Structure formats: structure tokens, C-alpha cells
Amino acid sequence: MRAVVQRAAYARVESEGIESGRIESGLVVLLGVETGDTEKDAAYMASKILKLRIFDDPDGKMNLSVRDVGGSVLCVSQFTLLGDARGQNRPAYIRAERPERADEMYMLVCSLMAQEGVTVEKGVFRTHMRVELCNDGPVTILLDSRKQF
């Protein structure tokens, strides 16, 4: 499972022209599910996202998590994170999980974060979405449950 995590001053997502999620301060998470990902990967990802210390403490040091600052999470599924363009210009998506299983795993990550008391807003799976955000910092972190980077 892969994620791009961005610290955001605000963010929103539209699906087919209808807003499906909006946050003020918090994290925008673009989440890709890889073939073979399990509930263990989902638990790792949810925990890691909530524990990332990428918000400033009173001394200006990135030392606080989204929970510490009372922030929210906007989580958007994005299979293109599994695209492989190393050998060509058109990415191959053979490592992306089948849609039905990917949706299940995406929803599990969102649910696990919400169970920790964090407000989680979502995009709509398998739709054309537009994500608007103000990246605060900018701060962008890449995560992989298989620790490939």
C-alpha cells in the first residue's frame, strides 16, 4: 500500500462535480492499494499516517501529529500511485489491486483512522475526482507499507 501524505491548510475533493469531502487543517492522503495488500498493510498505513509528526510544535519544530493538533484527514483513493513508468512513457498498472478489493482496503484504512477519533473525509472510489488543497509548508511524505522507500 502506498500513500502520498500532504500537510494541508485546507482541502476538498469533488467527485463528478459534487463535493464529497472537505477539511480545514490536517492531512491529505492519496492512497493506492497494491495487489496482495492485507489488513496488516491497512493497519500499518492508518497507524503511520496518524502518528506522523509533521506539524509544528510551539518551537517551530515538526514534532506533532494530526491528532496532536486536532486536525482532520482527507483520504482519496488513487490507483495511479502503483503506476510503473520505468520502461516506457505510458505507466503500467499491473501492481494495482482489483477495484473491489482496493475499495475494501481503502475503506478499511479510512475506518481505522476514524476509530482513533480523527475526522476522516473521503473521495468517491472509481470516479473522476478533483482534489484542491493548500499544501502547508509545503510538507509531503511518501509512505509504503512494504517499506520500498
Query: How would residue 148 be classed by pLDDT, with cut points 50, 70 and 90?
Result: confident
> Would you state the pLDDT for residue 24?
96
Query: How would residue 147 be classed by pLDDT, with cut points 50, 70 and 90?
Result: confident
Share of the chain above pLDDT 70, in %: 99
- Domain range list for the chain: 2-144
Residues 19-57 pLDDT 10s: 999 999 999 999 999 999 999 999 999 999 999 999 999
> Would you state the pLDDT for residue 120?
98
Global confidence as pTM: 0.95
The CATH H-level superfamily of 2-144 is D-tyrosyl-tRNA(Tyr) deacylase (3.50.80.10)
Q: What beta strand segments (E) does the chain contain?
A: 2-15, 18-23, 26-32, 55-56, 62-64, 72-77, 120-122, 129-144
Whether residue 100 is predicted with pLDDT greater than 80 in this model: the reply is yes
Q: Rounded CA gap, 29 and 79, in Å? A: 13
Q: Rounded CA gap, 87 and 90, in Å? A: 9
Higher pLDDT pick, 88 / 73: 73
